[in-house]
Every structure is written in C-alpha cells, then in structure tokens.
C-alpha cells in the first residue's frame, strides 16, 4: 500500500533538485545515489554501520566522493562491487580515497579489464580485508550473512563459489554472476541485484529462498533482458528503483521492464528523472523520497514476517539422475530451516612459515601482508615482496584480515 505524503504535489519539471538529508538516527537508511549511467547505493544501519554497493562510472567519481563525505564520517564498514564492469567500479577509487573502507567484497569472477585489475591493486594496498561471498566452509549449505546491528542483516544470495560453479555461457557471464544481496530489517527488506541476468534469476527461483522485498533495486538499469515476469512475481516489490543516466545510449529503462513493474504494481523511481532516492525504514514501513520529481515521498508497508529467515531450507544441490543437472533441495518438512551464519573472524594462526612451508607476501605499496595462498594475491598482477618468516613481514606490515596470516 502506498500513501503519498502531503506537501509534494509539485510537478517533476518545476521541482529543482534538492539535497536529501543525512541518515535518520535509529533508522535503516538506503541512498540510491545518482551516478548517471551506473549503479551506487549506500546503506546506513540504525547503529551507523555503512555499506557501499558499487561506485558508478569513472566520471561519477568526484560527485560520489563528495556525497559520501557528506553522509559518512568514518571509513565504510564494507564496500561491495557486484561485478567487474566499469559503470559499477569506475567511481570506487575516488570513493575509497575520500572516506576509506575496512572491507571489500566482489564475486571473485575473473575479468581482463585493466580498470578492474587496477582497482584490485588499489584495494589490496588500501583495504585490510578482501573477501568474496563464499559460504562458511564449515556449513556450505548456508548463505553468507553480514550483521549490521539492531537486527539488520545483509545476506549474499549469489554467487556461491566454490559450493556452486559460476554461471557460464550466458549472454554476459560477468553480469550473470553479479552479487545479489538481500538487506532485511524486521518486516522490511531491500533486494540488490547488480546487473544480474535471466539465468541468475532462474537459479535464484529454483532455490528455497524468500526473495520478497519491499524495495527492489532493478537489475541492469532496467534493461529488457533482466527483471523477468516470474522473478518480479516472486519478489513482489512495492517500490522499485532504477539507476540510469539521462538520455543514455542503451534506452534504459526499457518499455518492457517498465511494463512488467507496472504489472506487479511497484511504485518506480528513476535516477535519470527523480535524481537521488532515499529510503528510510523503521522496520515496519519504508518511506521513499527523491531529490526531485512529483510525489517524491511515499510510504510502503513491509511484507516480510519479522525475523523470518532468508533461506527457507538448506542451500545445496543434489544431482538429478534423469538429466544429470543439479537441482535444489526443497525446504525441510514443517518449514524448518538452517540459519545463515555471519562470516566468522578466523583466529590468527600460531604456526610459522618454517613449520608450514608457506611464505608471506605483500603487494607493492601495501600496508598489509598475506598468506602466499591468499585469493587476493591470485587476482593481482602488482609487484610483490616475499617473506620466508612471518616475524619479518610483521616488522614492516600488519597482517591482512582476509586470510589472517
């Protein structure tokens, strides 16, 4: 149900852009930032935890950095790159230089882009912990969940490497393996979809997941190949936000997706027309405001049952003997579910390189050192320094938080 609040009857053409306010204390606030033809969203939890999802294209970097300085007064708790395309990663270096970050996550999907390689090298030097949405190895049937305080959680629905392989031979494998994440706060929820493709949506629909969301960040800027009718029916969003640039060359958002969003009765915001969009949740309702546009403030009621799990059953595959394909196990009888676990902090190892035969490595210019087997090193082509003794590495640098050397 939507309720237009009073005082917002101005037409879209007559309303000038205005800066949206700072995060509301004690509320979950999500900013869908206007970065042109790209994606960037900032999450601020009721306790002040911050997550930046994507950073828009390179030309948005200066504007993104300035906006983050207005909204964030300490390093971001987590930065998520949904996939290695320039319209999602281009502004991240400027953003990270502006406010800093404690952790960085991306799908771990290899991509030959020089901009992506440069970003990984920058992150390796400047961010203490680099991670992927890999489920807990001790409980591979669960989903990786990041707690943000006050009952707010961010659960990674896709990808699930190495428990499940990346989607392959799709229209765009980088898009299809975008990080898809669900943010929940009591009865309200947000679904972030990156540039996920129909194969991604199909894979999610086959899983025992609660995909419903009060607010949907529409995939791929409203491109016609995503946001299938079946997926939107399952998500049942009350509001949808499309991040796209004014007069973009791709025709985003497409008439087909706009029609499918109307079919599910979603109130749709577009950054090309509405500017930045701010969504504030008190756990029961979400209030959305835009920096410009008619009826810029609406309230939507949360549909998710408070405290309900995102995973309705174990997320694991079993072979289908008839087809040889993997199929998802249904929810356990009686609705029982296994809870997703928050990513644990691994204890610092006590063994030395002499005992394990493993060296310790630091990237050129980095303030941290890693285990030689760390995935961060595998994805970086930057020059490196190798230490045969942990004590030698620790004298010059601090241990990285992603592999706890």
User: CA separation (Å) from 220 to 248, 273, 276, 361, 402?
Assistant: 13, 17, 17, 37, 29
**In a 10 Å sphere around its CB, with 0-12 CB exposed, 13-18 middle and 19+ buried, how is residue 74 labelled?**
exposed
Over residues 20-70, the pLDDT tens digits come to 999 988 999 999 999 999 999 999 999 999 999 999 999 999 999 999 999
Q: What whole-number distance in Å separates Cα of residue 45 and Cα of residue 68?
A: 15
Does residue 347 lie in a domain region? no
Over residues 128-169, the pLDDT tens digits come to 789 999 988 888 899 999 999 999 999 999 999 999 999 999
Q: Would you place residue 374 in the very low, low, confident or very high pLDDT band (cuts 50, 70, 90)? A: confident
393 and 279 together in one domain:
no
Q: Would you place residue 401 in the very low, low, confident or very high pLDDT band (cuts 50, 70, 90)? A: low
Coil, helix or strand at residue 273 = helix
Q: How many structural domains comprise the chain?
A: 2
Residue 210's closest CA among 233, 239, 235, 185? Answer: 235
Query: Tokens 């997926």 correspond to what residue?
Result: 231
Does residue 325 lie in a domain region? yes
**In a 10 Å sphere around its CB, with 0-12 CB exposed, 13-18 middle and 19+ buried, how is residue 125 labelled?**
middle
Query: Quick check: 381 and 375 in contact, CB under 8 A?
Result: no
Does residue 118 lie in a domain region? yes
Q: What is the pTM of this model?
A: 0.78
294 and 330 together in one domain:
yes
231 and 361 together in one domain:
no
Max avg pLDDT among 183-192, 244-253, 298-307? 183-192
Does residue 348 lie in a domain region? no
Dihedral of CA atoms 162, 165, 170, 174 in degrees, nearest 10, equals: 10
pLDDT at 155: 97
304 and 379 together in one domain:
no
Dihedral of CA atoms 6, 9, 14, 20 in degrees, nearest 10, equals: 30
64 and 88 together in one domain:
yes
Q: Rounded to 5, what percent of the chain is helix, strand, coil?
A: 25, 25, 55
Q: Would you place residue 184 in the very low, low, confident or very high pLDDT band (cuts 50, 70, 90)? A: very high
Sequence-distant (6+) residues with CB within 8 A of 14 are: none
User: For position 154, which CATH number holds?
Assistant: 3.60.15.10
314 and 368 together in one domain:
no
286 and 377 together in one domain:
no
Residue 174's closest CA among 107, 222, 117, 80? Answer: 107
What would the mean pLDDT of 316-324 be, rounded to a whole number? 41
Residue 185's closest CA among 279, 121, 257? Answer: 279
- Quote the mean pLDDT of the chain: 83
234 and 373 together in one domain:
no
pLDDT at 67: 97
Domain endpoint, select from 316, 342, 368: 342
263 and 387 together in one domain:
no
Residue 150: domain span: 2-342
Q: What whole-number distance in Å separates Cα of residue 393 and Cα of residue 152?
A: 37
Over residues 246-275, the pLDDT tens digits come to 988 888 999 999 999 999 999 999 999 999
Q: What whole-number distance in Å separates Cα of residue 156 and Cα of residue 2?
A: 28
Answer with the residue of higher pLDDT: 288 or 359: 288
Pick the range with the lowest mean pLDDT from 35-49, 179-193, 226-240, 321-335: 321-335
56 and 195 together in one domain:
yes
Q: Would you place residue 391 in the very low, low, confident or very high pLDDT band (cuts 50, 70, 90)? A: confident
What would the mean pLDDT of 175-197 be, rounded to a whole number? 97
Does residue 137 lie in a domain region? yes
228 and 205 together in one domain:
yes
Instruction: Verify cis geometry, omega within 30 degrees of 0, for the bond prior to 159.
Output: yes
358 and 338 together in one domain:
no
């Amino acid at each position: 149900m939507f309720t237009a609040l009073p005082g917002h009857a101005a037409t879209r053409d007559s309303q000038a852009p205005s800066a949206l306010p700072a995060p509301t204390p004690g509320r979950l606030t999500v900013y869908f930032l206007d970065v042109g033809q790209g994606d960037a969203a900032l999450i601020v939890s009721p306790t002040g935890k911050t997550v930046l999802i994507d950073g828009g294209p390179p030309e948005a970097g200066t504007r993104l950095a300035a906006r983050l300085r207005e909204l964030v007064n300490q390093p971001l708790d987590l930065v998520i790159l949904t996939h290695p395309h320039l319209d999602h990663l281009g502004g991240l270096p400027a953003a990270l230089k502006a406010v800093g970050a404690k952790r960085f996550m991306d799908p771990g999907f290899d991509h030959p882009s020089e901009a992506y390689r440069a970003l990984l090298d920058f992150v390796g030097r400047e961010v203490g912990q680099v991670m992927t949405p890999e489920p807990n190895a001790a409980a591979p049937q669960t989903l990786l969940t990041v707690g943000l305080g006050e009952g707010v959680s961010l659960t990674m629905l896709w990808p699930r490497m190495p428990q499940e392989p990346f989607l392959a031979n799709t229209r765009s494998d980088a898009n299809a393996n975008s990080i898809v994440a669900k943010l929940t706060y009591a009865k309200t929820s947000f679904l972030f979809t990156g540039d996920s493709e129909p194969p991604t949506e199909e894979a999610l629909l086959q899983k025992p997941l609660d995909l419903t969301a009060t607010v949907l960040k529409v995939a791929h800027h409203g491109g016609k190949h995503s946001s299938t009718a079946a997926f939107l029916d399952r998500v049942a969003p009350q509001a949808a936000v499309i991040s796209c640039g004014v007069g973009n060359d791709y025709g985003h958002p497409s008439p087909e997706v706009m029609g499918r969003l109307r079919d599910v009765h979603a109130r749709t915001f577009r950054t090309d027309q509405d500017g930045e969009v701010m969504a504030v949740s008190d756990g029961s309702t979400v209030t959305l405001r835009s920096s410009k546009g008619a009826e810029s403030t609406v309230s939507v009621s949360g549909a998710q049952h408070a405290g309900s799990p995102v995973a309705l059953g174990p997320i694991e595959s079993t072979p289908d003997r008839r087809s040889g394909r993997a199929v998802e196990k249904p929810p356990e009888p009686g609705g029982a579910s296994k809870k997703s676990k928050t990513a644990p902090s691994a204890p610092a190892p006590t063994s030395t390189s002499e005992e394990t035969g493993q060296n310790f490595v630091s990237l050129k210019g980095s303030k941290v050192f890693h285990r030689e087997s760390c995935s961060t090193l595998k994805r970086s082509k930057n020059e490196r320094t190798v230490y045969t003794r942990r004590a030698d590495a620790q004298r010059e640098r601090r241990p990285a938080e992603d592999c706890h050397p």
